[in-house]
Amino acid sequence: MNRYHRQILLPQIGEKGQRALAASRVLLIGVGALGTVIADQLVRAGVGFLRIIDRDLVELTNLQRQMLFDESDAKQNLPKAIAAANRLRAVNSEVKLDPIIADVDAGNFEDFIEKSDLILDGTDNVATRYLINDVSVKHKIPWIYGAAVATEGRVMTILPGKTPCLRCVFPDAPSPGELPTCDTAGVLGSVSSVVASIQSVEAIKVLSGNAQAISQEMRVLDLWTNRLRAVSLDDARRTDCPCCGKHQYEFLKSNHTSITSLCGRDAIQIRGGRGRLDLDQLQQQLQKSGELTRTPYFLRIRLSDPKDVELTVFPDARTIVKGTTDAGRARAIFSRFIGD
Ligand SMILES: [Zn+2]
Q: Contact 12/59 with Cβ under 8 angstroms?
A: no
Which pLDDT value is given to residue 183? 64
3-state secondary structure of 285: helix
pLDDT string in tens for the chain (340-residue length): 699 999 999 999 999 999 999 999 999 999 999 999 999 999 999 999 999 999 889 999 999 999 999 999 999 989 999 999 999 999 999 999 999 999 898 889 999 999 999 999 999 778 889 999 999 999 999 999 999 999 999 999 999 999 999 999 999 877 655 666 666 678 899 999 999 999 999 999 999 999 999 999 999 999 999 999 999 999 999 999 999 999 999 999 876 557 777 767 789 988 865 567 889 988 988 988 999 999 999 999 999 989 999 999 998 888 999 999 888 888 888 878 887 5
The whole model's pTM is what? 0.86
Which pLDDT value is given to residue 186? 85
Which pLDDT value is given to residue 260? 79
210 to 12, 13, 269: CA distances (angstroms): 8, 8, 41
Ligand 1 geometric centre to CA of 246 (Å): 9
Integer Cα distance of 118 and 140 in angstroms: 10
Which pLDDT value is given to residue 182? 67
Ligand 1 geometric centre to CA of 160 (Å): 9
Which pLDDT value is given to residue 277? 82
Ligand 1 geometric centre to CA of 199 (Å): 20
Integer Cα distance of 281 and 293 in angstroms: 14
Output phi, psi for 162, to 5 deg.
Answer: -115, -40
Ligand 1 geometric centre to CA of 200 (Å): 23
Catalogue the long-range contacts made by 273-278 (C-beta closer than 8 Å, 24 or more residues apart): 273/317, 273/340, 274/107, 274/108, 274/317, 275/317, 276/315, 276/316, 276/317, 277/313, 277/314, 277/315, 277/316, 277/317
Integer Cα distance of 96 and 103 in angstroms: 22
Ligand 1 geometric centre to CA of 208 (Å): 25
Ligand 1 geometric centre to CA of 100 (Å): 29
Which pLDDT value is given to residue 120? 98
Integer Cα distance of 268 and 281 in angstroms: 23
Ligand 1 geometric centre to CA of 39 (Å): 27
